[in-house]
Amino acid sequence: MRKLLSFLMSVIAVLFVSSAHAELHVDIVAGGTEPIAIAVQKFETVGKVSNSDAKMLREVVENDLKRTGLFRIVNHDAFPEFVKMNEMPNFKSWAAIKTQALVQASLRPEGKDSYKLEFYLWDVNGQEQIEAQSLIASKKSARRLAHIMADAIYERLTGEIGYFDTQIVFIAETGPVDNRTKRMAIMDQDGYGMRYLSDKNTFVMSPHFSPNMSTVVFLSYRNDDPMVWALDLETGDQTKLGNFGGMSFAPRFSPDGTKVALSLVKNGITNIYEYNIETRALKQLTFGNHIDTSPSYSPDGRYMAFNSDSTGSQQIHVLDLQSGKHKRITFGAGRYATPAWSPDGNYIAFTKIAENTFYIGIMNPEGRHEKILAGGWYMEAPSWAPGSRRLVYYETEKASDGEERISHIRSVDIMGQNLYDIELKDGINGVEPTWSPKLP
């Protein structure tokens, strides 16, 4: 994957200046928080630099920050001045247009095929520089510079983990609704750079990243044999994940990347198993004459959420991987499915089906404090961004007579706000998205 991205990044300096002033900070938990007004200056260019690249990087940074709903991008026409990189801003002028944070940046060649990006972040009211970084990347991977820069700004002003320098793997569907071609695809979190990971002749589903971003596990139908496979993102090689003597599906990596949880059908019974990648040992985790599926590890690896119909309807259970005991945690009206444990361990996302409507929601690991984030005709497969403040999922619109069903990949924050579509190419329907960890 690193070769495919052709990327080299180094953080050369990070500067922090303490202050007696109240620190500029946005509370990303509180609903209705007033967004921070942030001005991103035009990138200075030094030497032989493409002006279109400099413009593109600025736009990427602004779009990343704007989509969070936590930042208001100050209109360029309102800027009172242009501040060169080695000069101090006129803080009174910026404060007069209600700017709270100011960003300066410069772009220059670094060797033959790379760019060097430097940026400063200023707290206008505190009249201090609160972040400075220098980044290097190949010109082919220049967009990553902008995503990393946006992550640094987001992290400095929110105190949370950024999620802009990430990717999403999903199933790209094309063709008529009764004869859809399903191909595994990958793209940046903003929809840029989509490429296919599987051919159009192989039916695939349920892709999930390994924690180190080296591998994707997925369900593949080959020769009418539905099994879990693994794709090496560096080489493109695909290998079947063991020979289990039955249909296997719904794979998910353990937090340390050494195991894969999956559902396995034997004698018409579906239980959850754990496959050790190194020893190739298969361990059964759930038992009974029912359907247990959609496993999701807690970030500490001690527990596993899954959905089961063992109590008469599809509900979410949590399994203690040490004791082997599990308990049902959902008792609301309707059915619950596709649990996804947040990276910080504080939430479990889920799909809920009640009164002919699908919902995406979150709750705590005990099943309490349920919060619905989105609802519609059909939606499923929530997956968390790093930092546990946003989710991605897919929604399928109900088709009218003579119309094709359209599926969108959408993102929403944990307050149920700032919902947006991730734009795909014309004719492509996106389903079953999984958000990656931050890129290495």
For residues 351 and 23, the model is more confident at 351
User: Over 60: is that where the pLDDT of 410 sits?
Assistant: yes
pLDDT at 404: 75
Residues 411 and 419: their CA atoms lie apart, in Å, by 6
Q: Which two tokens stand for residue 42?
A: 């035009």
CB 228 within 8 A of CB 204: no
SS3 149: helix
Residues 9 and 279: their CA atoms lie apart, in Å, by 35
pLDDT at 28: 56
Q: What's the CATH code, domain 167-435?
A: 2.120.10.30
Domain 2-158, CATH homologous superfamily name and number: TolB, N-terminal domain (3.40.50.10070)
Q: How far, in whole angstroms, is CA 219 from its chain's centroid? A: 20
Q: What percent of the chain has pLDDT over 70?
A: 92
The sign of the torsion formed by the CA atoms of 369, 296, 255, 182 equals negative
Mean pLDDT of 157-162: 96
Q: Which two tokens stand for residue 177?
A: 């609704």
Q: Which of 339, 334, 295 is nearest to 314 (CA)?
A: 334
Mean pLDDT of 388-396: 97
pLDDT at 59: 98
Mean pLDDT of 79-101: 97
Q: Which stretch of 23-37, 284-298, 328-342, 361-375 has the lowest confidence by average pLDDT? A: 23-37
Residue with tokens 């921070």: 36
What residue type is 208 in one-letter code?
Answer: H
Residues 66 and 295: their CA atoms lie apart, in Å, by 34
Rounded to 5 degrees, φ, ψ at 392 are -120, 150
Domain residue ranges in the chain: 2-158, 167-435
CB 169 within 8 A of CB 207: yes
pLDDT at 11: 37
CB 391 within 8 A of CB 349: yes
Q: What is the pTM of this model?
A: 0.92
User: Over 90: is that where the pLDDT of 10 sits?
Assistant: no
User: Over 90: is that where the pLDDT of 165 sits?
Assistant: yes
Residue 109 pLDDT grade (very low, low, confident, very high; cuts 50, 70, 90): very high
Burial zone of 237 (CB within 10 Å; 0-12 exposed, 13-18 middle, 19+ buried): exposed
